[in-house]
Amino acid sequence: MRHLSKSAARAILPVPVDSASWLPALAKSKFIPVGANVPSLDDLAREGFVPVRDAIPTVAVFGVTTWPAAQTREVEAIVHAVRHACATAGELQLLVLGRGAKEAEPLLRDRLAGSSVRLRVEGLCSEREISVRLAVSDVLLFVRGALSSRRGSGLAGIACGLPIVAYQGTETAWPLTQAGIVFVRQDDLVSLGNQLSALLLDRKRRLDFGARNRAVFREWFSWGRIAERWIEALGAARSGAVRQEKRVVGQMNTGMNTITALPVSRSVPQAQTPCARPITVLLYSTDFLPGVGGVQQAVAQLARGLLATGNQPTVVTKTPAGPFNDRDLTYRVVRNPGFTHLWRLIGEADIVHLAGPAFIALMIGLLRRKKIVIEHHGYQAICPNGLLLYAPRQAACPGHFLAGQYAQCVRCVATANGWLSGIWQLLIMFPRRWMCRRVAANAAVSQHVELRLQLPRSHTVYHGVPDLRAEPISLGVSSSPPVCFGFVGRLVEEKGLMVLLEAACRIRQRGYDFRLKFIGDGLQRARLEELVLQNDLCSEVIFMGSLNGEALRRATADIAAVIMPSITEEPAGLAAIEQMMRGRLVIASDIGGLSEVVGETGLKFLAGNAEQLASCMERVLQEPGIVNEMGIRARQRSLELFSEPCMIEEYLDLYREVLG
């Protein structure tokens, strides 16, 4: 298989490429999942089917292994989970259907004897009957090994919009991790029963999980989307033009622990070809230089790249210049234009590129019938505060707006800004989302964001960063200074910095010597400094303020691992991408687009879990060799997916497709 993948033009995998560690040619590999072999809930709805659930909650099991040893193990797991759920959540029905169901029935009845679980065994059914039965169930229990994107019986539950409790394994990866699935460690029967009980008791969570599964199915596991991905993989884009595949060949110098990238087909041309007319692009960003942040940086990079390729970008922003001199920029910048001026600027552009769904600019663009591309670097199209952070609990929002739970949205905004502001922010969401659905294209900064927004004509275009020079870290020498960890970003509540400080306290209590740098500034800095004093961490923790360019490079030179402990669904994690490009190990919350960009090249922990974060930090202290090893993999991933030329070319492809 390794030999064949090297000589093949494409290697198609039914699991994410990162899961196939044996595969040497990542650059020409593509992930295309299999689909469900039963009709989806959408298919049933087109026939007029409306699911009506029984009064008694139903736990469905689709398929049981017939091999005796595996059958016994699966039956024990099923029985333990449903018995525990029955004792906790009340009377329930266990529905077992598909292959192996009839063979397992005697053992199931024997193990469930004396319980109040109602057992219903259907056995083999037609595809439609399976879908109907799954659609009226409450939860799918999947214990036939670990769930992955090539397990059709698990995908059937996703197709039918059914919340799932399943085992996880090495192939359990995105996009399943963004679906409505609760994962537990394989053969952890206690967690299996607890999670099944919790899901049966929480109706709102089940509804949210069902909606997420339907969205994941439409985007990834429906046969139409699978066919489109095959067409793209075989060389033809949906527009009919041949697209170039992302290809980066990494050459590793094992002696120096560095990666030399050889771009094959994703480099940006230095000048526009004579036959192509320059594209006039208006880049509208509410926030821009001299402000500091990922949006400002991404817009500036895109403007430079468009100009370098012979196009005509103009940046329009509300940010005042202050001491910043716009003449130092090579492209045109217009600040604080009035309504009439903005109307004229938008009218002159071929493409209106909005860095976020800015209301006035979006409205003018639609009124003037312009081709609009919205770059979604946040969740403003589905969340009044744009963060998917539920303020009353300071926890990730399950998606109250899309679920129609508008009172929760008002309560969230009112926590910080009052009830009038909460009502206004909710009301403005409806026309904003309506307009987002009518633009020429929606560009998400990660596939997680694309999936979350559920907008038509969506594309994923990752942030691009310059090819920052990698500098290996030397650890494990007895005379070396303490291992240094670092955080780079804004010091605000949603970044989870309280969790990081708590993890630091735990590491110090275990007797480790280390340093922790906070690079950045924000509203939470004073509170963090106060906590450092209270916990006597002054000798371990350093606050360095906001840094850029060479100052940032010097400050991060001795950092072994960059920690990104966000408690909200980060859209992409630009700071993490930059550090990965520098060859740094990233320790990140396993949440949102941040988890997606890090992939398998970093260490992850459950968002908000200080103990898991402390364990990741402890691993770095105990196994210093992983710093350079995983840093090399992180840099290779950045060169393949997050290079600046790649971002520029993908936006140009999108503009050309929109313009026809």
Q: What is the pLDDT of residue 553?
A: 82
pLDDT band at 554 (very low <50, low <70, confident <90, very high): confident
Tell me which of 3.60.20.10, 3.40.50.720, 1.20.120.350, 3.40.50.2000 is the CATH number of domain 41-211. 3.40.50.2000
| pLDDT at res. 176 | 81
More confident residue, 79 or 276: 79
For domain 483-642, give the fold.
Rossmann fold (3.40.50)
Residue type, 424: W
Does 651 have pLDDT greater than 90? yes
Residue in 496, 487, 489 with CA at minimum distance from that of residue 395: 496
With 50 as the cut, is the pLDDT of residue 245 above it?
Answer: no
Q: How far apart are CA 311 and CA 546, in angstroms?
A: 33
What single-letter DSSP state applies at residue 236? Answer: B
Most confident of 47-51, 365-369, 391-395: 365-369
CATH architecture label of 277-464+645-659: 3-Layer(aba) Sandwich (3.40)
Confidence bin at 24 (pLDDT 50/70/90): low
pLDDT tens-place string over residues 282-311: 999 999 988 877 889 899 999 999 999 999
Q: What confidence category does residue 266 fall into, taking pLDDT thresholds of 50, 70 and 90?
A: very low
Task: For residues 95-117, give the mean pLDDT.
Answer: 88
Exposure of 186 by Cβ count < 10 A (0-12 exposed, 13-18 middle, 19+ buried)?
Answer: middle
For the chain, percent of residues with pLDDT exceeding 90 = 40
Indicate the average pLDDT of the chain.
84
Lowest mean pLDDT among 4-18, 475-489, 512-526, 645-659: 475-489
Q: How far is CA 402 from CA 21, 177, 203, 208, 353, in A?
A: 37, 20, 16, 9, 25
The reply to whether 41-211 and 483-642 are identical in fold is yes
Cβ proximity of 291 and 319 under 8 Å = yes
Q: Who's near 179: CB < 8 A, 6+ residues apart?
A: 158, 164, 209, 212, 213, 216
Q: How much is the average pLDDT of 554-582?
A: 90
Q: Please give the average per-residue pLDDT across 38-65, as a whole number.
A: 82
pLDDT at 185: 87
Return the structure tokens found at 639: 């060169």
Is residue 476's pLDDT more than 60?
A: no
Residue 204's pLDDT is 80
Separation CA 472–CA 632 (nearest Å): 9
The angle subtended at Cα 217 by Cα 214 and Cα 222, nearest 5°, is: 130
Domain ranges of the chain: 2-31, 41-211, 277-464+645-659, 483-642
The proportion of the chain whose per-residue pLDDT surpasses 70, expressed as a percent, equals 90
Quote the CA–CA distance of 198 and 165 in Å, as a whole number.
10
Question: Would you state the pLDDT for residue 257?
Answer: 34
C-alpha span between 577 and 584 (Å, rounded): 10
pLDDT of 416 reads: 83
Which whole number is the average pLDDT over 480-509? Answer: 90
Q: At 144, is the pLDDT very low, low, confident or very high (cuts 50, 70, 90)?
A: confident
Q: How confident is the model at residue 442 (pLDDT cuts 50, 70, 90)?
A: very high
Express each pLDDT in 379-427 by its tens digit: 999 999 898 888 888 778 888 998 899 999 999 999 888 999 999 999 9
| 467 vs 239 pLDDT, higher one | 467
Burial of 633 (0-12, 13-18, 19+ CB in 10 A): buried
Exposure letters 460-492 (e unless 16+ CB within 10 A, then b): bbbbbbebbebeebebeeeeeeebbbbbbbbbe
Asked if residue 255 has pLDDT above 50, the reply is no
